[in-house]
């Protein structure tokens, strides 16, 4: 059995920085320490941080004191303003790429543009992006969604993307939108880390017998990697080594591994170790 790992896999810069900030706050005993929703979309890593004293809140309404670490996806603008008015230490771990898109949406809406976001309407990053517009925002994620766009033909339109969106989907939907709004301004705001991971996963998937995509089931960027790999080879989306079934792999196979931007190195290493240990017993 051969095991190959994609050239780009696992933590991106923004996620690594957020985890380091949370660990630093815990190490300096700045307790209680909270995050508004999970810091990242990886329940195993969130559980590890919980063991250090970093607690996940479903709502920030009743929080009065302590330290709050802002999740990598960012928070709605009004929520951020509320938190800064409280007697809290606010550590902003919003991904720099996400923050850049927040500012872009804010500026474009002030300049009179109708914003179209290509992404998942209920994803926390997109919820945050929408809140920075001074005008109503339309979120689309499918060709049907584009068909339903009801902005007048002459409207000033600007298109941005969820930072973890698939480049393939972004380009396809942009092409359809431009048929309706020919003067639309296009801003490809997919982050470099997402692009790099998608390209590396696609390349590796074409050279192996099976792909394992490691990451949270609620992770948008991991879902995109899974979709990309599935088009090329038999692919399984797992959260950890314990999800692997013996029937998936055989002794003479080449196994490819990639991982979402919220997947820590220790989980990737556990998967590799599991496969290595079980290689001899595989059929």
Instruction: Tell which of 186, 206, 225 closes a domain.
Output: 186
Position 107 confidence tier, pLDDT thresholds 50, 70, 90: very high
Instruction: Classify residue 8 by burial, with Cβ atoms within 10 Å: 0-12, 13-18, 19+.
Output: buried
Average pLDDT over residues 236-254: 95
Classify residue 139: in a domain, yes or no: yes
Q: What's the pTM value of the predicted model, to 2 decimals?
A: 0.91
> Whole domain around residue 31: which residue ranges?
13-94
Instruction: Tell which of 94, 115, 149 closes a domain.
Output: 94
DSSP 8-state code for residue 242:
G
Q: Say whether both 50 and 75 belong to one domain.
A: yes
CATH number of the domain residue 114 falls in: 3.40.1010.20
DSSP secondary structure, 108-166, as one string: HHHTTPEEEEES-TTSHHHHHHHHT-SS--EEE-SHHHHHT--S-TT--EEEEE-TT--
Instruction: Tell which of 43, 60, 94 closes a domain.
Output: 94
pLDDT digits (tens, 9 = 90+) for 250-266: 989 999 999 999 999 99
Q: Say whether both 90 and 134 belong to one domain.
A: no
Average pLDDT over residues 173-194: 96
Q: Say whether both 166 and 227 belong to one domain.
A: no
Question: Among 17, 24, 3, 45, which Cα is nearest to 249's?
Answer: 3
Share of the chain residues as helix, strand and coil, in percent rounded to the nearest 5: 40, 20, 40
* Number of structural domains the chain divides into: 3
Q: Say whether both 208 and 140 belong to one domain.
A: no
Classify residue 283: in a domain, yes or no: no
Q: Which positions are annotated as active-site residues?
A: 125
On the question of pLDDT at 27 being above 60, the answer is yes
* Exposed e or buried b per residue across 253-276, where buried means at least 16 C-beta atoms within 10 angstroms of its C-beta: bebbbbbbbbbbeebbebbbeebe
């Amino acid at each position: 059995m051969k095991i190959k790992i994609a050239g780009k896999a696992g933590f991106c810069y923004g996620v690594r920085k957020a985890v380091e900030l949370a660990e630093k706050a815990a190490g300096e005993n700045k307790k209680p320490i909270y995050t508004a929703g999970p810091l990242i979309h990886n329940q195993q890593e969130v559980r590890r941080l919980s063991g250090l004293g970093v607690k996940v809140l479903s709502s920030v309404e009743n929080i009065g004191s302590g330290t709050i670490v802002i999740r990598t996806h960012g928070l709605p603008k009004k929520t951020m303003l509320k938190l800064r008015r409280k007697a809290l230490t606010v550590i902003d771990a919003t991904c720099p790429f996400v923050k850049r898109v927040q500012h872009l949406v804010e500026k474009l809406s002030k300049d009179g543009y109708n914003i179209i976001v290509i992404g998942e309407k209920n994803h926390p990053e997109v919820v945050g992006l929408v809140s920075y517009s001074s005008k109503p925002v339309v979120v689309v994620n499918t060709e049907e969604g584009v068909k339903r766009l009801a902005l007048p033909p002459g409207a000033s339109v600007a298109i941005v993307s969820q930072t973890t969106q698939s480049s393939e989907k972004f380009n396809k939907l942009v092409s359809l939108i431009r048929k309706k709004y020919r003067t639309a301004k296009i801003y490809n705001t997919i982050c470099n880390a997402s692009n790099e991971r998608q390209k590396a996963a696609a390349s590796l998937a074409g050279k192996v017998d099976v792909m394992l995509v490691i990451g949270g089931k609620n992770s948008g960027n991991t879902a995109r990697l899974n979709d990309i790999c599935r088009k090329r080879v038999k692919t399984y989306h797992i959260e950890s080594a314990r999800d692997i079934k013996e029937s998936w792999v055989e002794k003479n196979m080449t196994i490819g591994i990639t991982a979402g931007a919220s997947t820590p190195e220790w989980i990737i290493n556990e998967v590799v170790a599991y496969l290595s240990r079980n290689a001899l017993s595989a059929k």
